[in-house]
Structure 1
Amino acid sequence: MAENEIFILEDDLTTRAMLRVVLEKAGYQPVFFADGEALVAKSRHASPACILLDLCLPGISGLDVLGQLTDRTCPAPILMVSGQGDIPTAVRALRIGAADFVEKPFSPADLVARIESAGAGQPAHSANPLDHFKQSRGLTRRECEVLDHLIAGSSSKVIARKLGISPRTIEDHRARILQKAGVKTTAQLSIMAFKGPQALKDLPAAFGRRTVH
């Protein structure tokens, strides 16, 4: 493993230049790739300290590349980077195997901290972190059903229609789930369910924490 190499899939030249300055200053060696296929091919023979994947790319998406890397049991921690704070997409990335989901714009210090945190190799709570979360928080069967729909991005009205109960009842369930989880928003709940309480301090602006520019 190259302890200081960071594989990066990013098509924006301005962002590339910024990442090069930030990472080299932090002691890392950024290695940029033009497309996902090239990165996946390189990862078959080399294991960097970390991989940064932009979510929105021409052709194959960052999530598709993430899936290919995790299918090949890539040992390097993978961070998804996106300019769109989309909760369902962030949850999907974490489900596929991303170590973190970083929203643009981010501060240099925050990015480096997230890379170092991912590289620390914090163990997962269980093979299925969502199941662990449900059990550890003592959620009822109905609350588990509501949680599944909430983290998929469904509104209270949509969930109510699917479960055959009123939107007001869904809101009551949501409030109890948030209380049991010890968080205030559905965004925080979604990330916590997959990453644990420690992840909340690193949340970007769109997920309930103010981003430092």
Structure 2
Amino acid sequence: MGSRFVHIVDDDQPVRDSLRWLLSSADIDSQAYDTPEAFLEATRAQPDGCVLLDICMPGIDGVTVLKRLASGGMTAPVIIMTGHGNQSDADEVLRLGAADFIEKPFAADRLLAVIERVMVPPAQADAR
């Protein structure tokens, strides 16, 4: 796995499938997880690439996952996605270290632009 890799964490199978298809069409590799627990188990070390994380899931929610990643010294950028967002949620996840917050439904080109932006290494972003 390299820097052009996205971990998709969403409990909705059609969402996971469509996101994997979209990323594949943009030559971005991905792995999908149906639960936060499956993602955390598979990525005990810091995940490569970036994480596309739904905020509302049964069991552990996206905010809790983000907190766990942050407490472990998170280096992978995390994009929070939600179908039920508000400004308070956005403020909280950004304060906790999320790279961005995107509301469902979103346009494919908008999501791809966000992913491309957050996956740019800091040194390259500073050179722009």
Scaled by the length of structure 2, the TM-score of the pair is 0.88
State the match for 2:29 in structure 1.
29
Give how far 1:39 is off: 1.4
Letter in 2 for 1:68: R
Rounded to whole Å, the distance in 1 between the matches of 2:40 and 2:16 is: 19
Match of 2:107 in 1: 107
Tell me which protein shows more strand as a share of its residues: 2
Please give the per-residue CA displacement for 1:27-84, whole angstroms capped at 9, x wherever unaligned.
1112011221221233233532110110110111110011101111121100000012
Residue type of the alignment partner of 1:34: D
Q: Which has the higher contact order (CA 8 A, sep 6+)?
A: 2
Alpha-carbon distance between aligned partners in 2 of 1:40 and 1:63, rounded to the nearest angstrom: 13
Q: How many Å separate the matches in 1 of 2:111 and 2:32?
A: 17
- Unpaired runs of 5+ residues, structure 2, are 124-128
Q: Percent identity?
A: 36
Aligned partners of 1:79 and 1:100 also within 8 Å: yes
Aligned residue number for residue 60 of structure 1: 60
Distance in structure 2 (CA, Å) of the matches to 1:92 and 1:122: 23
Compared CA separation, residues 86 and 103, structure 1 to 2 (3 A): same
Which 4+ residue blocks in structure 1 deviate beyond 3 angstroms?
none
> Partners of 1:35 and 1:21 in 2: how far apart?
19
**1:75 corresponds to 2:75:** yes
Aligned residue pair count: 123
Measured after TM superposition, the shift of residue 121 of structure 1 is 4.3
1:12 matched to which residue of 2? Answer: 12
Q: Which segments of 5 or more consecutive residues in structure 1 lack a partner in the other structure?
A: 124-213
In the other structure, the counterpart of 1:189 is none
